[in-house]
Amino acid sequence: MDILSKKEMVAREEECFRSGLTAAALMEAAGEAMARRILEIYPRAKKLLVLVGKGNNGGDGLVVARHLSEQGKPVRVVLTAPEDQLGELPRTRLDRLRAPFPELEIEMWHDGLPFPGSDGVVIDALLGLQASGPLRGLLAEVVARLNRARAEHFFRTVALDLPTGLAAYEEGKTPENRDAAVVADVTMAVGFAKEVLTAEAPAGWVGRLEVVAWSREKMESAPQQILIGHELAGLLPRRNALSHKNDFGRIVIVAGSPGFTGAPALCAQAALAMGAGLLSVVTRPEVANVVAAQSPHEAMVSGWNDEVPDVVRNASAIVIGPGLGVDKKTTEMLRAVLQVGCSVLIDADGLNTLAQNPGLLREAKGPVVLTPHPGEMGRLIGRKFEATERESVAREFVDQHNVVLVLKGTRTLVTARGKQLFLNTTGNPGLSTGGSGDTLSGMIGALLAQKLAPLDAARLGVWLHGHAADLVLAERGCEEGLTPTMLSGHLGQALVSLRAQAAVVDGLVERAKLWR
């Protein structure tokens, strides 16, 4: 799905209005869709508080409040401007809310306003895309109080369109302090992803990014895209009843060394959960018994001695690097793996070895996928780089080396030479733990073994990795203690969820036509 600037977003809205749709119809369609998604993300929320501004973003919030109320949820609405100062659209949405729910609690903002506890959700509908300039006056006070209460009471915050205050920080800028904008756990963008929402620097205010699709038609014209479930669902096809294990690939994981025997096991369990047909783990001979004891029962574990193992030569896809160590032996193994000709994913110590021997990439006889975090990427290019450089660094690297690059981060990006740049939207802070990267490598490796194109395997693996983490969070209610093993255990559920999204047929434009 396209990532657009503010100017491009406004242009698409105006084009839609010229076709006969109204702002009121789009508001109704967007509010209904956002309310439904809030209930899916926070099904156990006991208290919902909607903070309403005087513009159209406030109107979105009032539509959301109405649909939440229709589902029997306890909703409170707080206005930050007197009713006679509301714009025309939010004023009519307020009337539509009151009519069926005359007992609904609607009040004006005041300093002593109570916020919900950890079982609650606060919905930010104060300022939308059209706002400009830093916060001031009452809204600055509201945002500061909201952020402070979020930190103290542990409720979740959902921003509609974008977090209030963030519109002032486009073009790569970062808010100068926490209270310059609402700190959201989830941001629900309307129609498309805006540039300010996808940048790495302000991700701490945006949180997880959800996008209410503009249309059922795929929008892939912009040079930057976000990864969306319903657009990825067809990449991993249904399995034929007439099939056997060899149809789903022979993945080989070359990983592990003394003191780092858990990495191959985590990588292996993810590869199995992602559907690999046959799985082999090849490790250093001195730790083969330990790795075998820690790995899934289905894994065939052996040591890499002097000769290149036959299982490596016959692989459909190879993952190399997790916990492997950095020495002459790793360099020899990496060179041999690149000579096989199948798809190769290089991670962790494989990347560190590559940074010391950059000419090795020129020896690759098959497709290569690299999955560095920012530190590893810095070693690959020989310098540190800022968050604002991520995209330019990625494009320059793939143009030079002709690889598929997965540059990890809050907004993990995926790209390849001559291709668009894809930014991921799934995942949460629970992924910030050792072993998450090993899990991702095993997932993408399994998809490569199942004959997905390298760019498609990377895109799908990255999205499913984050989505599995989001499913774990929804189940547990907290990010702390989320482990890579939990991720692998939720990959089946993530696939089911992904495929369910393929059935989503209508976007805002189609739904808005029903409100004419």
Range with the poorest average pLDDT among 101-115, 121-135, 254-268: 121-135
Edge to edge, the sheet with strand 120-125 lists 105-108, 75-79, 47-52, 120-125, 156-160, 186-191, 208-213
Q: How many CB atoms lie within 10 A of CB 338?
A: 21
For residue 399, give every residue at least 6 positions away whose Cβ sits within 8 Å of its Cβ, in sequence order, or none. 417
- Whether the pLDDT of residue 141 is over 90: the answer is yes
- Whether the pLDDT of residue 185 is over 90: the answer is yes
Half-sphere exposure of 20 (CA within 13 A, CB side): 5
- Whether the pLDDT of residue 171 is over 70: the answer is no
- Whether the pLDDT of residue 6 is over 80: the answer is no
- b/e map of 444-473 (b: 16 or more CB within 10 Å)? bbbbbbbebebbbbbbbbbbbbbbbbbbbb
What is the pLDDT confidence band of residue 263, given thresholds at 50, 70 and 90? very high
pLDDT score for 176: 83
* Total number of residues shown for the chain: 516
pLDDT in tens, 389-409: 999 999 999 999 999 999 999
pLDDT in tens, 224-246: 899 988 889 989 888 889 898 98
Full set of structural domains in the chain with CATH:
3-226 (3.40.50.10260), 242-501 (3.40.1190.20)
pLDDT score for 216: 67
Q: Where are the alpha helices (DSSP H) in 118-255?
A: 137-153, 195-198, 203-206, 229-232
Distance CA 467, CA 490 (A): 9
Mean pLDDT of 323-339: 97
Range with the poorest average pLDDT among 21-25, 94-98, 111-115, 139-143: 21-25
- Whether the pLDDT of residue 434 is over 60: the answer is yes
Whole-angstrom CA distances from 283 to 267, 271, 289 are 13, 16, 10
pLDDT in tens, 442-476: 999 999 999 999 999 999 999 999 999 999 998 99
- Whether the pLDDT of residue 78 is over 70: the answer is yes
Mean pLDDT of 116-141: 91
- Whether the pLDDT of residue 348 is over 80: the answer is yes
pTM of the model as a whole: 0.91
Q: How many CB atoms lie within 10 A of CB 240?
A: 7
In which residue are the tokens 């984050």 written? 466
What is the pLDDT confidence band of residue 322, given thresholds at 50, 70 and 90? very high
Mean pLDDT of 112-130: 92
DSSP 2: B
pLDDT score for 219: 59
- Whether the pLDDT of residue 516 is over 60: the answer is no
pLDDT score for 515: 66
Q: Are 466 and 490 in contact (CB under 8 A)?
A: no
Mean pLDDT of 311-320: 98
Q: What is the mean pLDDT of the chain?
A: 92
% of the chain surpassing 90 pLDDT: 75
CA angle centred on 228, ends 224 and 229, rounded to 5° = 155
pLDDT score for 388: 87
- Whether the pLDDT of residue 293 is over 60: the answer is yes
What is the pLDDT confidence band of residue 44, given thresholds at 50, 70 and 90? confident
- Whether the pLDDT of residue 427 is over 70: the answer is yes
Q: Are 318 and 346 in contact (CB under 8 A)?
A: no
* Residue 338 token pair: 């690149």
Half-sphere exposure of 414 (CA within 13 A, CB side): 19
Q: Which residue has the higher pLDDT, 264 or 7?
A: 264
- Whether the pLDDT of residue 16 is over 70: the answer is yes
